[in-house]
Amino acid sequence: MDHLEQTCASLRAQIAATETDLAKLKRELQEAEAAASAAKAPNGINGEPKKENRKRTWPLLAEEYRRYGRQMIVPQLGLQGQLRLRSSKVLIVGAGGLGCPSALYLAGAGVGTLGMVDGDTVESSNLHRQVLHRTRNVGKFKVDSAIEYLQELNPHTSYVPHRSHLSPQEAPEIFKDYDLILDCTDNPATRYLISDTAVALGKPLVSASALRTEGQLMVLNNPPRPAGDKTGGPCYRCVFPKPPPANSVTSCADGGILGPVVGTMGVLQALEAIKVITSPTSGLNDGPGDPPALHIFSAYSSPPFRTIRLRTRRPTCAACSASPSVTLDTIKSGSIDYIFFCGAANPEALLSPNERISPLEYRRRHPAMPSKILAPETGSRHTLIDVRDKAQFDICNLENSINIPISTILGSSAARATKGVNGDSEDNLPAWVPAEIASPESRDPIYVVCRLGNDSQVAVKKLKELGLDRDGERYVGDIQGGLHAWRGQVDPEFPEY
């Protein structure tokens, strides 16, 4: 099966490469035919060409005038701007929610060469926001799926697929052939790698991000002056010298995303890229560029946009200062561990093995599922707490589980449950604690579940801080792997989202 999948992937790659070559040949043929037509001007008397019939050679093909006419009549672009677009080479890193709309509008605008870097394949969960991919392309490399669509949109552009995840060793070799870079990725480690490489090679960078209903946009290293030149634009390290804590980074898979939000940010990236390419006073044309700024979009705010002015290059920046520690050599050598710099790639295990239980073991202990039942082996009742937010809980949940979002749990104080002088429970527990588990007489086990088994560990620690484990007399633990593992081990029909 693996051999057949590799064969299919290889054939898809060959087809995409052939289609790119074909588009290039068609364009060359059009140019050759136009030149031949101009050379065949009809002759007048004595073999002298008729001046009134002599054809003029225009810088664009007739079809390109028709295709791009509506944008060329915009004063800020004009014919010269269109010619700059036609000669430009743009690299998009990431063919997902940001990369798809960016590529769509850059190809439509007539960028000469468009490269795309992505090692992922299309999944059905991508389709609500990654607008270049189609249902029939599920399982196909994202770059091949995207280029298939873009070639139908505009055959005049040359498309270059890079079917791999960006690595420090490969990034400089890929970047060197392009004029402008678009960061359309979704993790801090890759963002720092892209920015460092762009600075080292003197490439302007358009960076964006999106999560839930909000997005951010910056144009960095614009203009792309050498390291130490104070007139150059700031880089990603200038804005964020230190990465965010690893446990504070939320992906779209965990936090969710609205398609139009990430689409808005991708379209704005394309717009900024066009401005950098076509403006005679910025970016590729060695001008001063626009003042650096961070643009923030919030779909449910009014107004939805606000802008924060950014400072120029930091004198102590590790990448673009006069004495950089991040150079092309350090990037190529792999001496910079971007994963380590940004924190652990995987969530830390907060609980010991005896504080965790597999979905299969939970099912064996409590086969009837309701949260208040008599367990056949232990003779005890139990409580199951789901710590996902309400929106996720409403999508699907285990029968009779109690929804207490992790944000509610973490927002409370850590007061412990104690007994008063009459043996009654002191009223010092947070209001979200259910009465049945707050009772000092209760020793029923408490299980916590979340989507992937990460937040549930944090919740268990919090419950124990509150003293709900009765100093070890009551079992408080989580279901390891969360609902994702539940689907794989217990109920294959449980919804996956």
Residue-wise pLDDT for 176-207, tens only, equals 999 999 999 999 999 999 999 999 999 999 99
**pLDDT value for 421:** 45
The answer to whether 450 is a known catalytic residue is: yes
Going by C-beta distance under 8 Å and a sequence separation of 6 or more, which residues neighbour residue 116? 91, 92, 95, 99, 103, 142, 143, 146, 147, 159, 160, 161, 162
Element (H, E) at 398: none
CA quadruple 260, 264, 266, 270: dihedral sign: positive
DSSP 448: E
> Among 55-64, 133-142, 253-262, 406-415, which range has the highest average pLDDT?
133-142
- How confident is the model at residue 42, as a pLDDT? 43
Average pLDDT over residues 312-332: 96
Q: Does domain 353-490 have CATH number 3.50.40.10?
A: no
Q: Which of 100, 184, 342, 450 is catalytic?
A: 450
More confident residue, 204 or 346: 204
The CATH fold assigned to 63-280+291-333 is Rossmann fold (3.40.50)
The confidence score (pLDDT) of residue 16 equals 62
Cis check for the bond before 223: say yes or no (omega within 30 of 0): yes
Which residue numbers belong to the known binding site?
A: 97, 118, 125-129, 142, 186-187, 235, 238, 317, 320
CB 249 within 8 A of CB 199: no
- Tell me the per-residue pLDDT of 478-490, one tens digit each, with 9 for 90 and over: 999 999 999 999 9
What is the phi/psi pair of residue 446, to 5°?
-120, 125
Determine the Cα–Cα distance for residues 369 and 362; give it in Å rounded to an integer. 9
Residue 50 clears pLDDT 80, i.e. is over it: no
Known binding site for ATP: residues?
Answer: 97, 118, 125-129, 142, 186-187
Residue list, annotated binding site for Zn(2+)? 235, 238, 317, 320
How do residues 146-175 score in pLDDT, each as one tens digit?
999 999 999 999 999 999 999 999 999 999
Report which residue type is found at 476.
V
Tell me whether residue 252 is one of the annotated catalytic residues. yes
> Which entry of 100, 184, 252, 342 is annotated as an active-site residue?
252
Q: Which long-range contacts link 75-81 to residues 24+ away (Cβ below 8 Å)?
A: 76/278, 76/279, 77/274, 77/278, 80/278, 80/280, 81/277, 81/278
Q: How many CB atoms lie within 10 A of CB 63?
A: 13
CATH 3.40.50.720 region(s) of the chain?
63-280+291-333
Boundaries of CATH 3.40.250.10 in the chain? Answer: 353-490
